[in-house]
Structure 1
């Protein structure tokens, strides 16, 4: 099976945004309602490790329901983790069979999209929280949009629990990123929503 998606553009975007986070912004709120920047960064550090393990089909130790504290070396560790994540999912074998991350096992082709979704959405979250620009590849947004839309149909609320907030309605003629944000329970106008 060929590599289905290249996580490199989204990972590079997260890496750039994270590198520009100032220490005085670590306590700032984010669009992830209960997570300040420091918790969002810790989540990115550990999700990059968990999804690398998923791509490599290796076990990831730890409790997926708990976000550890932000490690002191987070700036270098996150950048290195993102490079490793990209490399893991560039292996065609990463997209075959099943993969496990966060205690959830699913087809690896779907897990790769979930990893991309995490990078795109949390990249946007971090950019908004720290006043930085954000840009995502249109193909990445479309892949994430397909996943988020499928998870956002009436009756799917339980499957969204812990992944997304309640759907935020957006105008029908809006751009794909705004639609993705709405399906993921975010307002493109945050924090002025």
Structure 2
């Protein structure tokens, strides 16, 4: 039995935080930039919905790579509904505690479910920061989630593992006085929009 804590409560909170951010999106913000240089707000929303779909598929025992990274055919006024549907599926897929110790096939190899889900928490928390930046920081973000994500990122994505095939830039110095989100973003090579 794995002694790593159950990441499902943090996963639930991470999905709720993203849902709250998505509810603040106004139509005129969809083309706004985000710290993900290839994604404006609309494309980031598409990716967030796609990631939630992937999390559900993996939790159900399916193949992550069989699911597109971007959600298709979501109207501009449908992001909230699309995310709620995919996050509900993902939460249900991970409800059985046996999934936490099941071996899951991930792009980097077989991984215990609790480690895979912890990685998904890191991704959702990171994208919450990305989306918050793109929307002008409309809500106060959960610092405990960022602390968890930062600790996981430091372990799973060491500074020397960047480059080809890794979707994160080189580690940047965190701005002085940065909170946990600022430190997480810097570790993953992201800059606040104000610093560009």
What's the TM-score once normalised by structure 2's chain length? 0.82
Does structure 1 retain, via aligned residues, the 8 Å contact 2:51–2:70?
no
1:71: which partner in 2?
74
Contact persistence 1:127–1:134 (CA under 8 A) = no
Q: Report whether the alignment pairs 1:123 with 2:128.
A: yes
* Alignment match, 1:85: 90
Q: Compute the RMSD of aligned alpha carbons.
A: 2.7
1:191 has 2:182 as partner: no
> Equivalent residue for 1:96?
101
The count of aligned residue pairs is 189
Residue of structure 1 equivalent to 2:142: 136
Shift of 1:177: 2.6
Q: Note if contact 1:96-1:108 (Cα within 8 Å) is conserved in structure 2.
A: yes
How far apart in 2 are the matches of 1:91 and 1:190?
39
Q: Following the alignment from structure 2 to structure 1, what is the Cα–Cα distance between the partners of residues 42 and 58?
A: 24
Q: Secondary structure at the match of 1:90?
A: coil
Relative to structure 1, the CA distance from residue 21 to residue 88 in structure 2 (aligned partners, 3 Å threshold; closer, same or farther) is: same
- 5 Å-filtered alignment, 1:174-185, equals 174-185=178-189
Distance 1:182 1:25, change over 3 A: same
Distance 1:166 1:70 in 2: 33
Return the TM-score normalized by structure 1. Answer: 0.83
Gaps of 5+ in 2: none
